[in-house]
Amino acid sequence: MVYASYDDFESPRTPIAVYWLIGLCVAVYFVQSTLVGDANMARWLGYSADDLASRSLWTIGTYMFVHGGLLHLALNMWTLWLFGPRVERAWGAGTFTWFYLWCGLGGWAFHYMFQSNGGVLVGASAAILGVAVAYASRWPDDEVLFFGVVPMKVLWLVVFMAVINITMAIVDHGSIGGTAYAAHIGGMVAGGVYLFAPRSGSLDRFRNRMVSAPDYGDETPRAVPKSSRPQEREVDDIVAQSKAAVARVRPVTPRAAPSAPAAVAEAPGTALDAVLDKIASDGIDSLTVAERALLDDWSKRLRNGG
């Protein structure tokens, strides 16, 4: 059992994918324990060695939503809640969900290759351990309390879990039933492949998305004063610079009242004032197509010296 010792943080993003994954696993277990029984649920949705021959291919994905008992479910859901929300907030629900399923498939692949005689494969452990790898790659220095007692950095916790599973897979090789250690290793390897594979195609795009995702940190967000918001400061600077440039182009000496043709010539300048005022009050995104065209025209005239 692992307990987080750092404070959770608030974020604009709600971990919807984590909520749905936990809810789905709990719902399946509820149906399993009240209506159909453990054996039937494992036979229908768990993966067994003869499923490929019988073309029951859906069990490759559904096995990760079935659990062998209440303790098995509780430990997995707690671990998912420990590592999942922060990773999802950094990546987004869609990317997180695909990563979770990818790690689950990696767990099935290793079970198929190295522990195919291990009975029926059930449980979300492989997918969740892949999420733990993603967490450790992003926040390796976060501390957790292993078994609620031993302080340990997340990176070393993940390394420790990998060593334990590799050791037990070797010791337990050839046995029937028990813990699917090979699947656990497969989930962690799949997570590592997704994150650290050489740059190519969709894996590269996923990695770039991960690297560019903002690190919200552990502090509770604070309201930013309006005057210090970068986007609004940028708009204010644009308006001020535009007004200053227009003032330089226009004559500063008073003139007589213009005739009708002159008044028509001054109309664009008056319209520009209205556009600049609109930017200052409502932001540059509020401009219409015609107003943007007028602003672009004046920008070109100012760059060309009027």
**Could you report the per-residue pLDDT of 264-282, keeping only the tens digit for each?**
344 556 777 887 888 777 7
Q: Indicate whether 167 belongs to any domain.
A: yes
One-character DSSP codes across 94-131: HHHHHHHHHHHHHHHHHHHHH-TTS--B--SHHHHHHH
**Do residues 108 and 184 touch, judged by C-beta distance below 8 A?**
no
| Residue 32 shares a structural domain with residue 158 | yes
Answer yes or no: do 199 and 240 share one domain: no
Question: Which helix (H) or strand (E) covers residue 299, if one does?
Answer: helix 289-303
pLDDT, mean of residues 14-29: 95
The answer, yes or no, to whether residue 251 has pLDDT greater than 90, is no
Please tell me whether residues 198 and 274 are part of one structural domain.
no
pLDDT band at 61 (very low <50, low <70, confident <90, very high): very high
Domain-terminating residue out of 152, 182, 212:
212
Same domain, 280 and 205: no
Q: How confident is the model at residue 78 (pLDDT cuts 50, 70, 90)?
A: very high
pLDDT > 70 in the chain, percent: 68
The answer to whether residue 218 sits within a structural domain is: no
The amino acid at residue 132 is: A
Q: 295 with 257, same domain?
A: yes
| Residue 95: per-residue pLDDT | 94
Are residue 270 and residue 206 in the same domain, yes or no?
no
pLDDT for 301? 77
pLDDT higher than 60, residue 39: yes
The C-alpha atoms of residue 71 and residue 300 are separated, in whole angstroms, by 70
The predicted-structure confidence for 279-295, as pLDDT tens digits, reads as follows 777 777 777 878 888 87
Torsion of CA 93, 94, 100, 104, to 10 degrees: 150
Structural domain includes residue 141:
yes
- The percent of residues in the chain predicted with pLDDT above 90, rounded, is 39
Among 155, 177, 212, identify where a domain stops: 212
* Residue in 95, 125, 106 with CA at minimum distance from that of residue 190: 106
Q: Is residue 222 part of a domain?
A: no
In what side-by-side order are the strands of the sheet with 2-4? 2-4, 143-146, 150-153
pTM of the model: 0.61
For residues 190-209, average pLDDT: 68
pLDDT digits (tens, 9 = 90+) for 146-166: 767 788 899 999 999 999 988
Question: What gap in Å lies between CA 84 and CA 198, rounded to an integer?
Answer: 25
Q: Say whether both 158 and 286 belong to one domain.
A: no
β-pair type (150-153, 143-146): antiparallel
User: Is residue 237 pLDDT above 70, yes or no?
Assistant: no
Lowest mean pLDDT among 86-100, 158-172, 251-265: 251-265
What is the average pLDDT across 8-32? 85
Residue 66 falls inside a structural domain: yes
Question: Which of 292, 294, 284 is CA-nearest to residue 231?
Answer: 284
| Residue 114 domain-assigned (yes or no) | yes
Q: How confident is the model at residue 175 (pLDDT cuts 50, 70, 90)?
A: low
**21, burial (CB in 10 Å: exposed 0-12, middle 13-18, buried 19+):** buried
How many Å apart are CA 81 and CA 196, to the nearest integer?
24
Q: pLDDT digit string (tens) for 240-250?
A: 666 666 565 55
Segment holding 143, helix H or strand E: strand 143-146
Least confident of 3-12, 103-112, 153-162: 3-12
- If one counts every other C-beta atom within 10 angstroms of the C-beta of residue 93, the result is 17
Q: Are 243 and 176 in a shared domain?
A: no
Mean pLDDT of 195-201: 67
| C-alpha–C-alpha distance, residues 107 and 196, integer Å | 18
Token pair 């993603």 is found at: 134
Is there a domain that residue 220 lies in? no
Which amino acid belongs to residue 180? Answer: A
**Pair (192, 236) in one structural domain:** no
CB 250 within 8 Å of CB 269: yes
What is the tally of structural domains in the chain?
Answer: 2
For 76, the domain range is 2-212
Q: Tell me, rounded to whole angstroms, the distance of Cα 95 from its chain centroid.
A: 6
Output the CA angle 189-195-199, nearest 5 degrees.
120
Q: What is the dihedral of CA 282, 279, 272, 243, to 10 degrees?
A: 140
Helix residue ranges, H only, 10-124: 16-31, 38-45, 59-62, 70-91, 93-114
What's the angle, vertex CA 161, arms to CA 111 and CA 77, rounded to 5? 75
Q: Which of 151, 181, 212 is the last residue of a domain?
A: 212
CATH of the domain at 142: 1.20.1540.10
219: in domain: no
Give the pLDDT confidence score for residue 291 in this predicted structure: 80
Are 117 and 59 within one domain?
Answer: yes
Asked if 28 and 87 sit in the same domain, the reply is: yes
Do 187 and 109 lie in one domain? The reply is yes
